[in-house]
Amino acid sequence: MNYSLLTVEILATLLGVGVLLADLWLPASARKLLGYVAATGVAILLTYALGSGAPADGTAFGGMFVVDAMSNYFKGFFLLATLVVLLMSIESSETLVGYAEYCALTIFAAVGMLFAASANDFILMFVALELITVTFYILVSFSRGRLGSLEAGVKYLILGALASGFMVFGIAFIFGAANTTNFYEIAAKQTELAKSPIFLVGLLLTVVGLGFKIAAFPFQMWAPDVYQGAPATTTAFLATGSKAAGFALLLRVAFGAVPDITAHWSRLILGLGIVTILYGSLCAIPQRSVKRLMGYSSIANAGYLLLGVAAASLSGGTAVLSYLGGYIFTVLAGFAVINVVVNRTESDDVSAFAALGQRSPLLATGLTVAMVSLAGIPPLAGFFGKFLLLKAVAAHIGTDKMFLLALLVACVGVVLSIYYYFGVVRAMFWPRNATDLTPIAVGGATRLAVVLCVVGVFYLGICPNALVRTAKQAVAGLNVPPSAAEVHTAAK
Partner 1 sequence: MEHAHNAHNAISAAAPAFSSRPEDLAWFILLLPLIAAAGIAFFVRKSNVLSAVFSIGAVLAAFFLSVGLFITFGIGGEATVTTPFSWIHVGDLNVNLGVTVDRLSVLMLLVVTGVSALVQIYSTGYMHGDRSFSRFFSSLSLFTFSMLGIVLADNFVMMFVFWELVGLSSYLLIGFWYEKPSAGDAAKKAFLTNRIGDFGFLIGILMVWAATGSVSFAGIAHKLGADPTALGSMASIAGLLVFCGAMGKSAQFPLHVWLPDAMEGPTPVSALIHAATMVAAGVYMLCRTFFLYQVPAAWPAPLSFLGSISALDIIAVIGGFTALLAALIAIQQNDIKRILAYSTLSQLGYMVMAVGCGGPDAAMYHLTTHAGFKALLFLGAGSVIHACHHEQDIWKMGGLWNKLPVTFRTFAIGTAALAGLPILTSGFYSKDAILDAAITGGHPVLFGLGVIVAAMTTFYMLRLVIVAFFGAPRTGAASHAHESPNSMIWPLIVLAVPSIAIAWLPLGDFLSAHFNPHFHPHEGGGIFGPFNHAPLAATFGTGALLFGAAAAFGVYWNVPKDPLPGQLGLIGRAMKNRFYFDEIYDGVLVPLHDMLARLADWFDRWIVSGLIIRGVHGSTELVGRALRLAQTGNLQTYTFMFAAGVAVVVMIALKLK
229 in Cβ contact with 459 (< 8 Å):
no
Whichever of 74 and 212 has its CB closer to partner 1, that residue is 212
- C-alpha separations of 238 from 27, 67, 200, 423 in Å: 30, 24, 29, 23
Binding mask 409-448 for partner 1 (x = CB under 8 A): -------x--x-----------------------------
Whichever of 22 and 484 has its CB closer to partner 1, that residue is 484
Residue 250 sits in the site that holds partner 1 (CB under 8 A): no
Candidates 202-210, 368-376, 450-458, 479-487: pick the segment binding partner 1 (CB under 8 A).
202-210
Residue 405 sits in the site that holds partner 1 (CB under 8 A): no
Among 119, 109, 258, 282, CA closest to 189:
258
Rg (CA), the chain: 21
Whichever of 104 and 152 has its CB closer to partner 1, that residue is 152
Residue 94's contacts (CB-CB under 8 Å, 6 or more residues apart) are 32
Helical ranges in 346-380 per DSSP H: 356-359, 361-374
How many whole angstroms separate alpha carbon 212 and alpha carbon 168?
14
Least gap, CB of 217 to partner 1 (angstroms): 8
Least gap, CB of 181 to partner 1 (angstroms): 20
Residue 159 sits in the site that holds partner 1 (CB under 8 A): yes
Considering only 284, 380, 407, 428, the residue that binds partner 1 (CB under 8 A) is 284
- Among positions 49-88, residues that touch partner 1 (CB under 8 A) are none
- C-alpha separations of 236 from 228, 351, 421 in Å: 11, 21, 17
Among 181, 49, 198, CA closest to 126:
181
Residue 492 sits in the site that holds partner 1 (CB under 8 A): no
Least gap, CB of 138 to partner 1 (angstroms): 19
Residue 381's contacts (CB-CB under 8 Å, 6 or more residues apart) are 325, 326, 327, 329, 330, 373, 456, 457, 458, 459, 460, 461, 464
Considering only 73, 265, 335, 353, the residue that binds partner 1 (CB under 8 A) is 265
- Provide the 3-class DSSP secondary structure of residue 119: strand
The continuous run of DSSP H or E covering 212 comes out as helix 197-214
- In the chain, helix, strand, coil percent, each to 5? 80, 0, 20
Least gap, CB of 204 to partner 1 (angstroms): 5
Residue 307 sits in the site that holds partner 1 (CB under 8 A): no
Least gap, CB of 158 to partner 1 (angstroms): 6
- Among positions 224-243, residues that touch partner 1 (CB under 8 A) are 224-225
How many whole angstroms separate alpha carbon 219 and alpha carbon 222?
8
Residue 402 sits in the site that holds partner 1 (CB under 8 A): no
Least gap, CB of 151 to partner 1 (angstroms): 8
Residue 204 sits in the site that holds partner 1 (CB under 8 A): yes
Candidates 83-91, 156-164, 376-384, 433-441: pick the segment binding partner 1 (CB under 8 A).
156-164
Which residue type sits at 370?
Answer: A
Burial class (CB within 10 angstroms; exposed 0-12, middle 13-18, buried 19+) of 454: buried
Candidates 26-34, 100-108, 115-123, 162-170: pick the segment binding partner 1 (CB under 8 A).
162-170
Contacting residues toward partner 1, per CB under 8 A: 154-155, 158-159, 162-163, 166, 197, 200-201, 204-205, 208, 212, 217-219, 221-222, 224-225, 264-265, 267-268, 271-272, 279, 282-286, 416, 419
